[in-house]
Amino acid sequence: MKKWYEFYSFSNTETEIIQQLVGQIPWGQNIVIISKSKSIEEAIFYTNKTIENNWSRSVLLHQIELGFYERQGKAITNFTNTLPTPHSELATETLKDPYKFDFLTLQEKALEKDIENQLVKYITSFLLELGTGFSFVGQQVPVKIDNQDFYIDLLFYHIKLKCYVVVELKAIEFKAEFTGKMNLYLSAVDDTLKTEVENPTIGLLLCKSKSEIIAEYALIGTTQPIGIAEYEINKAIQKEIKSELPTIEEIELATKKAISNAGDSVK
């Protein structure tokens, strides 16, 4: 209680507002937030997200460890120029950079199709990483343009934004030409799926890496709302698995022993 009081006592935010916020979440979540947050602004952010998403303590801790606060709204977009306010601001805050797919079991050089299939397989975790409001529509969704068939990697609908979200996965560094194909998909979805009461479809290009300068230049002049972000696949071996694996020294020792035993057998 003392730590909680000291943490919030330096806030410029009115005490009554903070009390109303923290009073809406369990004490366990409050303890996690003040223990892990580096600032009061960050603590208020996670408190609001916990209320909004009804996060359990374990989910809250997971989001903090993944740096949700630092990543939200960091994708490169052209929403300011292609969407009206305040819709553009909400859309910007909806996207992150980077997206962390730590729940996937993939090799470093995984193909786009492999990543896509794994994301669909673990759709619950994927939706949690995407954030509140995303609803999965389909994988490899077909669209026909001038009697030619095209397939959208992943299609979502965002309830709060009231629009479709086209997600294209690229297992390589971002290239400027990716925006051209995304423009095509967005126009097709707007023409065939979007209704008059819905907002323009948004595109999200998820790439293994990107040059921010090239990404920004690629979006200049584009008329469709597009966001560009990186994704990260967890390369670390889980602790419980790592502890059961031999060290390099143990492997070298075992190899030398095997060679020595083989030599003795020959003799």
Q: What is the pLDDT of residues 174-205, one digit of tens each?
A: 999 999 999 999 999 999 999 999 999 999 99
Q: Is 139 within 8 Å of 116 (Cβ atoms)?
A: yes
Token code pair at residue 160: 């709060």
Q: How confident is the model at residue 107 (pLDDT cuts 50, 70, 90)?
A: low
**What is the C-alpha end-to-end distance of the chain, expressed in Å?**
74
b/e sequence 178-206, b meaning 16+ C-beta within 10 Å: bbeebeebbbbbbeeebeeeebbbbbbbb
**Parallel/antiparallel/unpaired status of strands 226-233 and 163-173:** unpaired
The confidence score (pLDDT) of residue 105 equals 74
Least confident range of 37-46, 51-60, 178-187, 238-247: 238-247
